Structure 1
Amino acid sequence: MVELREDMSESTLIADAKLGRELDADTVAKLRNVPILQSLAVDKLVCLENADNVYLKDAETVAVQGEVAHFFWILLDGELRVSQVTTEGHEMNMYVLPPGSAFGEVPLLANLPTAVNIRSVANTRLLRLDEDGFWTLMTACPEVRKAILGNMAMRIQKMQSIVIHQEKMASLGTLAAGLMHELNNPGAAARRAASQLRENLMRLHALSAKFTRIKMTQEQKECILDLQAYALSVKAPLRMNSLEQSDAEEALAEWMETAEIENAWKLAPTLVSIGIDAKGLMCAHSEFPAGEFSDALSWLEAMVSSMQLVATIEESIGRVSDLVHAVKSYAYEGKGQKQTLDVNDSIHATLVILGHKFREKEIVLEKDFAADLPLLNTECSGLNQIWTNLLDNAIDAVSQKGHIKIRTWTEVIEKDSTTSQKYIGISVTDNGSGIPIVCQRQIFDPFYTTKQVGVGTGLGLGIVHRIVEQFGGRILFSSEPGNTEFVVRLPTGTA
């Protein structure tokens, strides 16, 4: 039995392991349950005759994160717990390896340090091949080599999925503050409007009660009903420039003061916003005594203001709903198996989420979306991350009041003389400073960034390139000062 301290590494295992090179019947039976060896005939298990038996107690170390790997392992009995130390220094349990698991091929084949910590759970038995034995196994046993390489490809694919997921979570994290700001604005607006609406309803109730005690003539009733019908017919405040609006409010307020209307300067802006001027109020002025005329205009203003406040609340709630929908679309896009994706909708959701960044820099955004864009039928995910990274880079690249254009279209490209491929094209163009020529060859390399330290991770465009390739597409770019364009082409089927 190998006696290990928890801080012991693979190099220590070499010296302390008690070796057992015979493949007894029990070992052979357990090897038959190892997925990568199941296709191997019993007589071919001689490939493992140089493997060492390693016996561990509970919580003993098999591999240490960051150390150079020296062994390929096959777990025969017991379980192994896999954990990883985060950048903050916290160790996080990831999963448990069951009997029959084979591991260690990735660092040996790719010449990478061990990416995780691995420790035993209770009593554990493993077969261990050193580097020479591993390469002998890969050379002498084609069936095992094929299985190990397949296993490695699956691990790398899983690792890539984890990296893409982490990048998506990082992207959402960087957007969280902006999203809270985006949600706070309409939320605060709706709350203010609701509070003002409550005051208006109380004022309307008091004025209505006052009118019930007054005996109104038929002419007065008709005049009030006409004003009410006109006010309700105006669906939205009129659009006027600042000077026109100021002049109209001042003229109406002065006329109302002459007519002894209370709070004339407070009532005037609301009445002007629906196109009412002194001429429109002459009927009520002639039919009502001064005091009752003041109450009638106050009642009319309260009704108009209430309708506008309801519109504000509707607009604010609609804005919140749009943001929630955009975040859900962004976060859950790509879940499940086969799916149908609308590229225009995907881009729109990303634009909603990034909206605060466009407004902060007063960026002019030009959109040119093709109306007849076909849907994407795919099992891939990560579409929103493409637009997030491209647009975020463009926003960082342009100066205050810069210009960004995003365009979609369809095109057919001939593959050979008999077949052609239909593509969805997407371009993101900005008028920023451009990408230096010396940097352009490395722009899609992982961890390469032209941004300042602490601003960029260098993962963005590498992730974009990988996702585009997963969709079977291509990404190209051209850049010079004042004009940088990234073009993504995604296949939709044979034309």
Structure 2
Amino acid sequence: MSNQTQSVQTKPICKISDAVFAKLRTVSILSTLNDEELRCLEGAQEIHLEKDGVLARQGEVAHYFWILLDGELSVMQAVAEGKEMKLAPIPSGTAFGEVPLLSNTPNLVSVRAKESADLLQFDEEAFWKLMTSCPGVRKSILGNMAMRIQKLQSIAVQQEKMASLGTLAAGLMHELNNPGAAARRAASQLRENLMRLHELSAKFSKTEMSHEQKQCMFDLQEHALAAKQPLRLNSLEQSDAEEALAEWMEEANIENAWKMAPTLVSIGIDAKELECAREEFAGPIFSDALSWLAALVSSMQLVGTIEESIGRVSDLVLAVKSYAYEGKGQRQTVDINNSIHATLVILGHKFREKEIVVEKELAPDLPIFQALCSGLNQIWTNVLDNAIDAASQHGHIKIRTWVEKTLHDGRPEICISISDNGSGIPTECQAHIFDPFYTTKPMGVGTGIGLGIVHRIVEQNGGVIHFASEPGSTEFVVRLPIDNVPPKEQSS
């Protein structure tokens, strides 16, 4: 006898006794059999199992089929970290063990006696004799097996749904962290700006201002308020403009010139447009005037960031919904460059924390994209977030957009490339990188949901995404068809 039944006392029986025969009548799967059909069960071994005695161990090769006549058995399944999970017990009058024998698989669970138990045991030879020479018994066993497999599948599906729901919820919380943190940070900075504006307004109210000075301030304010969103400059253009304006402001003895220059450049203000203020405001009041203007511009942009962050929360929920359910979003027009810029704003603090250099080459004539589902900006969020995690301190990330005629029928595509100089994706992981819930990050850092969502959104918009990775260089390229049409329209 195998070591899986070391605590089992066995007694061969050639003929079923009246007492055992009466107990077999209580076995549910045998209840429809007549006396002659039940006699097919002769030749089994009668087994007595003491309390806590082991009948079968998970993972071992299956050798027996059992019918529990008296007592109750515990069913245990091994889970993580060497622990066991208790499943539904086996009551008396149950036949079991046929599934691993018929499917030629190891035992899926461990079975031990919850209390002392009496069973009939059929070895493989006796079991297959039953299956070949006893049609009534065979029908009962196969019917029981089908019912048990169906129940196991139902349990497995339910467990998978619950696991997926838990992972999906955890992933959503992870992804909501970026816009949530951005909104909170922007609100805090906005409060500081409002206090600064209040201080400067109080200072101006005590200063006698000429009509020309008031008109100059009004014109600059109009310029600031007319800018609906920051300019989209390539990295080199933006750097040159900021440096030129900061140097001009320093020559004019402006406090915090290098801090204010990026804000003013973002709405298209250069030294030429500030000449009126320099002429009208003498001495320290000129610095106060520009500080007031920068605070106003920054406040407007922070309001935009808060709006974008709150909108991104809604987009994230819709993106997860589109991942979990195969649905169709409403068609909408999307400016890809604006979408990418908004994502850079949302993730700005992560770039600053690692002092990552971001290089942008955004095509100025990029056509508007007709999106078929919402959440398009989630593509950039997840790919850039991964790039930031992969990049080292003082790393480099490059973003490019362009139009290219790459489709087989000559139709143009909008192309978006995001690359980093990080450690790269391990070769053994690359085939699974878009699989749902697959992640190469440590536990608690990544959920594996991000790139699964990315792949789904790209496909729903008629596009493709591919990547190339090696140590020191990883690039993701997204290609989206310009004249995008829904699948039904394409087939009609």
TM-score relative to the length of structure 1? 0.58
1:104 Cα shift?
A: 0.7
Contact 2:68 2:120 in 1 (8 A): yes
Name the counterpart of 2:294: 301
Contact 1:8 1:61 in 2 (8 A): no
Name the counterpart of 1:30: 26
Q: Secondary structure at the match of 2:23?
A: helix
Contact 1:21 1:53 in 2 (8 A): no
Change (3 A) 1:356 1:254: closer
Contact 2:76 2:110 in 1 (8 A): yes
Name the counterpart of 2:200: 207
Letter in 2 for 1:391: F
Name the counterpart of 1:94: 87
**1:126-275, aligned counterparts within 5 Å?**
126-153=119-146, 155=148, 192-216=185-209, 220-257=213-250, 259-275=252-268
Contact 2:12 2:44 in 1 (8 A): no
**Does residue 70 in structure 1 map to residue 63 in structure 2?**
yes
> CA–CA distance in 1 between the matches of 2:127 and 2:435?
46
Q: CA RMSD in A?
A: 5.3
> CA–CA distance in 1 between the matches of 2:207 and 2:431?
64
1:161 Cα shift?
A: 7.5
- Report Cα offsets for 1:258-299 as digits up to 9, x if no partner: 555333333222111101123433444454444433322211
Letter in 1 for 2:114: V
Unaligned runs of 5+ in 2: 330-371, 392-396, 408-429, 441-453, 471-491
Unaligned runs of 5+ in 1: 1-6, 334-338, 369-386, 397-403, 411-424, 434-494
- Report Cα offsets for 1:324-381 as digits up to 9, x if no partner: 7656776xx4xxxxx765699799889976775577498999999xxxxxxxxxxxxx
> CA–CA distance in 2 between the matches of 1:351 and 1:161?
38
Name the counterpart of 1:9: 4
Q: Secondary structure at the match of 1:62?
A: strand
Name the counterpart of 1:476: none
> CA–CA distance in 1 between the matches of 2:33 and 2:78?
37
Change (3 A) 1:44 1:303: same
Name the counterpart of 1:112: 105
> CA–CA distance in 2 between the matches of 1:426 and 1:150?
48
Contact 2:76 2:86 in 1 (8 A): yes
> CA–CA distance in 2 between the matches of 1:346 and 1:47?
65
1:61 Cα shift?
A: 2.0
Change (3 A) 1:317 1:110: same
Once structures 1 and 2 are overlaid, which stretch shifts more, 52-61 or 320-329?
320-329
Letter in 2 for 1:59: D
**1:278-293, aligned counterparts within 5 Å?**
278-293=271-286
Name the counterpart of 2:434: 391
> CA–CA distance in 2 between the matches of 1:65 and 1:72?
15
Contact 2:8 2:53 in 1 (8 A): no
Contact 1:65 1:117 in 2 (8 A): yes
Contact 1:326 1:352 in 2 (8 A): no
> CA–CA distance in 2 between the matches of 1:243 and 1:206?
35
> CA–CA distance in 1 between the matches of 2:56 and 2:44?
17
> CA–CA distance in 1 between the matches of 2:296 and 2:62?
77
Name the counterpart of 2:368: none
Change (3 A) 1:108 1:426: farther
Contact 2:69 2:119 in 1 (8 A): yes
Q: 1:44 aligns with which of 22, 37, 40?
A: 37
> CA–CA distance in 2 between the matches of 1:347 and 1:164?
28
Name the counterpart of 1:85: 78
> CA–CA distance in 2 between the matches of 1:16 and 1:125?
11
**Does residue 21 in structure 1 map to residue 64 in structure 2?**
no
1:203 Cα shift?
A: 1.3
**How many percent of aligned residue pairs carry the same amino acid?**
56
Q: How many residues end up aligned between the 2 structures? A: 379
1:301 Cα shift?
A: 0.2
> CA–CA distance in 2 between the matches of 1:268 and 1:340?
47
> CA–CA distance in 2 between the matches of 1:91 and 1:258?
74
Change (3 A) 1:95 1:405: closer
- Report Cα offsets for 1:211-251 as digits up to 9, x if no partner: 33345555544543432232122222212234433443344
Change (3 A) 1:317 1:390: same
> CA–CA distance in 1 between the matches of 2:167 and 2:234?
38
Contact 1:390 1:428 in 2 (8 A): no
Contact 1:178 1:356 in 2 (8 A): no
1:105 Cα shift?
A: 0.8
> CA–CA distance in 1 between the matches of 2:281 and 2:256?
17
Change (3 A) 1:297 1:111: same
TM-score relative to the length of structure 2? 0.58
Once structures 1 and 2 are overlaid, which stretch shifts more, 319-328 or 135-144?
319-328
Change (3 A) 1:210 1:178: same
Change (3 A) 1:16 1:224: farther
> CA–CA distance in 1 between the matches of 2:79 and 2:6?
24
